[in-house]
Chains A and B, each alone.
Chain A
């Protein structure tokens, strides 16, 4: 790639250019000055760019070339499940009869959309072992918060106002404690033991009459299955708390185990991860929430129901936590997820988890001689390694990540989870072929050798990207967040 400064679209702007046309105005013209009081009429024009259609297309095409997506190459970002986004999903999501619907059309005009959503709800309920699923939440973190609000309403409906604490493992996704806090709880940390699993003694210690819930992902963020899950559920339930399942890692257990069977009461799924909604540079996502029977009354309003063969929105839900999102959730992403589920079927989803887990274990095994593997047992769909050994040579996880870019590979997640030194978290997913995994393993092994023989080579990477390492301190100290005309 050639290193060249990329103009901002504002810098391409010239007065009078335009990249789109408007319909002719066929009604009598009236001056807005005559319709509105003076101080309502904008006098200072917004500084939006003015470009022709081709300039616009070239600009964004140039930007796209400076971006790495799953279609560009291997993207083993742990805890993010960067699997292939099927092309047919995009075709289906754009079908006019599915896409061009207004949320305030009467239910009779959108029975197809409602049927689609209802079937998706049923499928997700079966996959998670829950009684009922809502598609309202916009993203995983939004689902976490909704799920916790449901748990809070449940406790309060029992007059239980003193359950103020949510237990979260130290290795958890950062959104977990943040969601607990936004939902009005005090997060309490439970430690990870030497196995990489929740420390059971510590869990017993922190669980009590003030426990509202335990928030957990299983497999956990180290890629390990919490083997003591049945006992954990017993501890939390007998104290009167609920179990919340963070579904970010569900790619590992599709058809193998359900959150419901593990004792969880609430779950959210990340449809943009496990169910192939495209990640879109960070969104839009969709984070449906499933609950066990006793929590159904608390689901957000409205709830999609089927009555006498017709689908309808039920607003009459007096115990509901309320509305969490306008309209009916991120429907467009839900369409893609349902297309994926229908293309896989039960056997396909089963295979997904087996292949994802085999791929992760294969990579772990191929890398174990070159990097420290803190938890040597079988992993699920992802695993962590530590660059502790390389750090002694002056090469850190960040440097290894940057060097990987030169090999055309998107680096794994780095420095997460926080409880592993120089952590790299690798999630290959099931859609990658063995050849790709081998290329990645070979690159990682080469970098480990480079770190020993010529650490500077790694420290100064990347070389092959359009830009070299960026000054993040400058960005934060003197923030420039909008275009400033020179």
Chain B
């Protein structure tokens, strides 16, 4: 007898009973509305089913063909970071009431989700120094792109130009370009000088058509941008200042909100989210209350029930696609709720002081790596203040250097030749709290040998 698939509960007997109720002679009758010409004649051309044991073996064989970053000291960052993830994060995420739930359409049975999102919104707002935050975005790069679109909408589409700094992550710049192609906005690149946005060049580019100025803080090269100067420049033409920021850096770095940023976005991957080959991570989007009705994505608000008890609901939904349809502020339907939860758990676990300590450790370990490399005779490509990343000239092809490092059991930094052929000797090095002094010393030594 054919085994029932473990995910499918219906027995043959159930099926016959149900067909009888329905009034159909067999299941194929339920598909009689499919025109003959579109009906599939053959079996799906996919691989045969595996039992649970065979399934695990198969995926283990795939896993064995990968080199996991956890098996090597890694100096890769550039948007995805190797940080300590407290064990409590996965314990909470594994509560099936969280991971098997959907968008909280029925607040009475979704208070857990709604409250968790409300707490996430609160944490992001305080970290970025902004008045409010949404329930999450796909990731930091698309959040930046949504910020650009919002800036243009904000100005009622009268302003059609977006400026983006050359020091923003190259992939983020590409994503923004694709997004602004929708409403046909112009995107122009602000040149950089010594690894920082060239403020003077920006001033020359500004005009009344500029809706938003997009920068990253710390930027792609790890350098900390001068937000005060950028804010003043943008103000001259009434453009919004949109800042993409690593939230961990904000544990020690003055938050963009204090410099008067209009929109602050980024990715919360540093808080409790595994690398996972680049996704899913979790974008955040924070802004001023004046822009509340233009914000993309979901918002959760506090209210009371009929007995006056505090509770939470999705709110201001008139902005969203299921009510406004083509007039919606964005087409984003859901959010990254589960990963937002992961980040909330991590942020709560570290707490106010822990995040500051963690950020400080990142600064100190990166600083130690930087000075060790300088002492070994390497040239730093950019000399401004850094958080946990910086660019070093490895004196040879960075691709080759990384191969030598891997042979020594280490994963080196990002070969910048990947994005710019002229920078093929440059390596973006990331040092988090997880790198030990011994690992950093070995890294410097191995690079020196490779030179």
Contact = CB atoms under 8 A, between A and B. Distances in A.
Contacts of B164: none
A324 B279 CA distance: 13
A374 interface: no
A110 B277 contact: yes
A149 interface: yes
B63 A469 contact: no
A65 interface: yes
A80 B341 CA distance: 21
Interface string B409-435: 001001000100000000000000110
Contacts of A472: 303, 313, 315
Interface stretch (B2-10, B190-198, B199-207, B443-451): B2-10
Nearest to B293: A479
Interface string A454-476: 00000000100111111110111
B40 A255 contact: yes
Contacts of A431: 7-9
Interface string A172-209: 01110111111110010000000000000000000000
B368 interface: yes
B385 A10 contact: no
A131 to B, nearest CB: 13
A323 B122 contact: no
Contact of A468 (B60, B102, B307): B307
Given A115-B62, A323-B178, A358 B19 contact: yes
**Residue of B30, B307, B335, B351 most packed against chain A (CB within 10 A):** B351
B56 interface: yes
A45 B355 CA distance: 10
Interface residues of A, number: 202
Given A261-B38, A472-B303, A326 B175 contact: yes
**Residue of B24, B302, B309, B331 most packed against chain A (CB within 10 A):** B331
A347 B101 contact: no
A126 B44 contact: yes
Contacts of A50: 351-353
A472 B278 CA distance: 37
A322 B116 CA distance: 35
A430 interface: yes
Nearest to A258: B40
A290 to B, nearest CB: 14
B186 interface: no
Interface string B26-50: 0101111111011110011111111
Contacts of B129: 44
**Residue of B29, B178, B183 most packed against chain A (CB within 10 A):** B178
Given A30-B367, A40-B385, A22 B58 contact: no
Interface string B50-63: 10100110111111
Given A26-B437, A69-B100, A138-B139, A88 B338 contact: no
A102 B274 CA distance: 9
A480 B312 CA distance: 10
B19 A282 contact: no
Contacts of B178: 149, 300, 321-324
Contacts of B110: 66-68, 281
B306 A469 contact: yes
Interface residues of B, number: 208
B80 A103 contact: yes
Contact of B44 (A9, A59, A115, A254): A254
B76 A49 contact: no
Interface string A207-240: 0000000000000000011010110000000000
B380 interface: no
Interface in A338-362: 339, 341-352, 354-355, 357-359, 361-362
A100 B274 contact: yes
**Residue of A10, A91, A182 most packed against chain B (CB within 10 A):** A182
Interface string A21-60: 0110111111010011101111111111111010011011
Given A35-B367, A138-B279, A281-B101, A51 B348 contact: yes
Given A25-B361, A66-B115, A469-B306, A280 B108 contact: no
Q: 6 smallest A-B Cβ distances: which pairs? A: A327-B278, A345-B49, A97-B63, A280-B338, A112-B65, A103-B278
Given A67-B97, A481-B315, 14 more contacts: A18-B353, A46-B251, A51-B349, A60-B92, A96-B70, A101-B68, A112-B63, A139-B138, A256-B31, A261-B40, A279-B103, A283-B280, A329-B279, A352-B8
17 contacts: A9-B348, A23-B436, A27-B365, A39-B228, A60-B116, A61-B95, A95-B60, A174-B320, A255-B44, A281-B113, A283-B336, A322-B174, A325-B139, A365-B23, A405-B106, A430-B8, A482-B131
